[in-house]
Structure 1
Amino acid sequence: MRLRHPGGRLLHLSYCTNVHPAEDLAGIVGQLDEYALPIRERLGSEVLGLGLWLAAPVAEAIAVDGGARRRFRRELDVRGLEVVTLNGFPYRSFQDPVVKQAVYHPDWTTPERLRYTLDLARVLADLLPDDAARGSISTLPLAWRHPWDGARAAAAAFMLDELAAGLADIERRTGRVIRVAFEPEPGCVVETTGQAVAALSGADTDRLGVCLDLAHLACAWERPADALRALGRARVPVVKVQLSNALETDDPDALREYAEPRFLHQTRNPAGGAADDLDEAFAAGLPGPWRVHYHVPLHSSPAAPLATTAPLLRDALGELVGAADAACDHFDVETYTWGVLPAAQRPRTPGQLADGIAAELAFARAELCGLGMSA
């Protein structure tokens, strides 16, 4: 969906398709018909934005086949769908029965991660709407925090230089600007805004910046205003915002039904206590209150004593779009955990999942319009 900031900037609001498991082009087109079209119809929107996820094999295949890219663009156009942002964090197999720490591999010390991201950039350059100012790709925050040493840090710095050079080459050849956004996440080399500033020190920040995932920001117990001030002082751009809510509670026992085997649910308390997953937090007796990296639907209000970090999301949106100009123009709803929610909350049919995603997008649109954006 498209919104207009009072200052004139066009804002793009999308939903991230990493919630769907398809990893080949035919499957991706099928999921457009099964989910994206019904979502667009439920919202009554002329155009629906997708934060598209392409697994590495399909990204590689399309990147070298201009005809395939043009055909895919037509498939989007005829359905009233558009793509300005890609999720390049999961490499493949993101909806497998067990993902956990595998999602951080290959990391930014490897040529595989560089190739994948540049493949995505080549694809996105041809998918971008003609009037889009730029495209964005979100990616992992370098690597999981261990093992990490000087040699791996140097390898990652080299890959980031190569990435910036590759993006510049794509711009020269296509005329389209593609920026890559590194997404701070608990447990990774880059967990916080300060670590993001350090990691991108000396990098080409015309092409590289930060993806601000609001659930991750909440789990780091960072205040949106402080985070954005730090990024602004360092001239590190917010390339993309992932609209997401984490779980929060003063009573950790209330979270036991959320422990599940597919995704990692990093858990943090405001005193600096940390666990890499819910099971570990329970075993360690981590004192509350807890915030848990568990993306829950934006519009949901779990029963007390559970809550979500929606107040932080609202604060962040106010900071991001409340000034004379918006600090970011790509907003992607990224709730990928629908399939692992507790049974009573889990959609059972494609129609129910489409209903849930549409409700999230309606929530996000209403929040932004309440801050002065026009639809």
Structure 2
Amino acid sequence: MPSLLFGDDSSRRKSSGSRRTRMIAGLVAAVVGLAVVVWGAVRLFGWLSEDGGSSGVVAETSSDATEVQTPYGLGAQTPVGADSGEADDGEPMPMTPEIAGASGNQTPVAAEAPTSPVGTETPPSPVNGAATGGEASASAQVLLAEGRRLEREGKLVAARGQYAKALAAGPNPAQYAEIAGCLASVSERTILGKKLAEGETEAELYEVQSGDYLSTIGRRYAIPYRLVQRINGLPSDSIYAGQKLKVVRGPFRVRVVKSDVVLELWLRDVLVKTYRVAIGRGDSTPAGQYVVLKKLENPAFSPPPSQRGIMKPMPGGDPQNPLGTRWIDFGDHLGIHGTNEPESISQRVSLGCIRMLNSDVEELYDFMTPEMSTVEIVETRP
């Protein structure tokens, strides 16, 4: 019996131990399985997080979310009053840009400075020393040089065109004087020369018809007949049918520049000649547009009311006549005339009229066509 009882007890102990072993093994297996599941989940979550930027998972946000834009050429900016890092709503904030040269692996976009600031231009280099006139004077200098080249090659009309462009380009005072001199020289050989220059557009040859007079030809071309006589070198006003005459298509015009105290003779957009003049004191020579009304040779002088008792009347042709040898009337008691005081030229001394040397006003007289030629008085050169 005892052996039987002992045998039964031993069997029970063995059966109980086997069950505990199996339970422990199952528990260990469960723990290991759970660990594997957790580890796999962690790896999977990490992979999704790392791949979210390229896969578009993070990019698909609500349409109501506000997108923070970074201006081109600058790093991300931290809004004023905000701390860098995480915002309260969990959205990432733009990071403060790194300063060029600071520690870090990446260089911000702004570190690559542009060669020229946006919206600015590098000033042009001075051309032949013309530094004070800026871009306009540099352009004028280039056109002037081109005109000189064409003039040396004998292409006078083309050279005149370049000089005219140079004058319109806004030259500085020194360049203006040089360009005006070039234009006067070329115009004397083209517009005012006896021969019709190659490519000339301001003049043409005219064949005299039966019944023509110099005066009728002049009226046809809006120029004084004496200019036709002068250009063609005619000793008198006698002409004959079939004769070829060079004629200029007028009318000529005048511009008086008060700041420079000069008178400019123009044929359309070509400056033909420049004269030194005298103008009125203060504002007595009023700026404005006028038309030549009439012309007189050797005008008689009658002093204005303000000068009676100081000046006396003088007949035309008197060497002391303050009007000199010519009078070109453009209204409002104003005119262009000669002078008995050549030393007054280039000064502001008259009562309002434009004074010229007698030799100059006699020349100008032959360019002015009454009721067609204009006189423009300006404060400064345009």
TM-score, normalised on structure 1? 0.23
Higher relative contact order (CA 8 A, sep 6+): 1
More helix by share: 1
Higher Cα Rg: structure 1 or 2? 2
TM-score, normalised on structure 2? 0.23
